[in-house]
Structure 1
């Protein structure tokens, strides 16, 4: 039996002019095919976290992003290619320099959404929790 794999994921909640970016996974063998999610992927061994965050956003969306603040940490336990994984994901709010998305082949659609419209999209855990955190943070004063 193959040993379970522990991975760290860098996930970007990308904002542009008050809207947040969702991508629909197209990969038939993906763990969330047909669902909308936020951009991100695995941190490579030896890669600084912030480099991975920016790289994954660029690879999946074509956008240049600027990390603004950490949002939350969460995890899940998928089976990928018949191997059990534990994914620890670190979510960052990132600012985009444009809304001109160029999708990777991993995704077949995207949407810029207002947080209150999230219910219109099929999204996996923990996207609803992340949007709730975002809305809560918007109501706080940091002065």
Structure 2
């Protein structure tokens, strides 16, 4: 039997000293907090720091884990052909430590700092909105949510995995 295939990803809620959150606009048009896939041989922290830099130009440090997420659906990528396997994501709070905010990168069409209470005005994707709300509601316990995104967004399971 072959090994299962999963995408492992990390996302970062980058908070500046004024309480703003870093958002990036993806090439397909949606606003998200930065992050992405962990490459072969890469650890979660290094992947997250790399992804934030690639998507926004900002250098960061990773502060703490706030959520673990499973997108258990298999669906077609934007090309309509490639299967996207089950995804496991880890969300962290991060702090900016340098770099320069870039409006456009190879991966994004815009980047900006947004007041924490205005972020949901930008985010439309239901899974990203759910994860951002979990960040806003963070009480020190790591949140775990399993969900499907296709054909519609459905939360299958939600719990705290530590206190």
TM-score for the superposition, normalised by structure 1: 0.78
Q: Deviations over 1:68-94 (max 9, x none)?
A: 111111132442242232111111110
Distance in 2 separating the partners of 1:38 and 1:135: 13
Unaligned runs of 5+ in 2: 141-163
* Residue pair 1:115, 1:131 contacting (<8 A) in 2 also: no
1:119 Cα deviation from its structure 2 partner = 3.3
1:133–1:122 Cα change, 3 Å: closer
User: Which structure's relative contact order is higher, taking Cα pairs within 8 Å and 6+ residues apart?
Assistant: 1
Preserved contact between residue 59 and residue 99 of structure 2 (Cα < 8 Å): no
CA RMSD of aligned residues (A): 2.4
Q: CA deviation at 1:63?
A: 1.1
Q: Which residue of 2 aligns with 1:136?
A: 137
In structure 1, stretches of 5+ residues that fail to align are 27-32
Q: CA contact under 8 A between 1:16 and 1:99: conserved in structure 2?
A: no
TM-score, normalised to structure 2's length? 0.69
2:44 to 42, 46, 49: 49
Count of aligned residue pairs for this structure pair: 131
Taking the TM superposition and a 5 Å limit, the aligned residue runs for 1:1-143 are 5-17=5-17, 18-26=19-27, 33-76=28-71, 77=73, 78-80=75-77, 81=79, 82-98=82-98, 100-102=100-102, 103-137=104-138
Which residue of 2 is the match for residue 29 of structure 1? none
- Superposed displacement of residue 99, structure 1: 7.8
Instruction: Kindly provide the CA deviation profile for residues 33-76 of structure 1, in whole angstroms up to 9, marking residues without a partner as x.
Output: 11101111111122121111111111111111010111111132
- Distance across 1 between alignment mates of 2:76 and 2:5: 10
Distance 2:10 2:123 in 1: 21
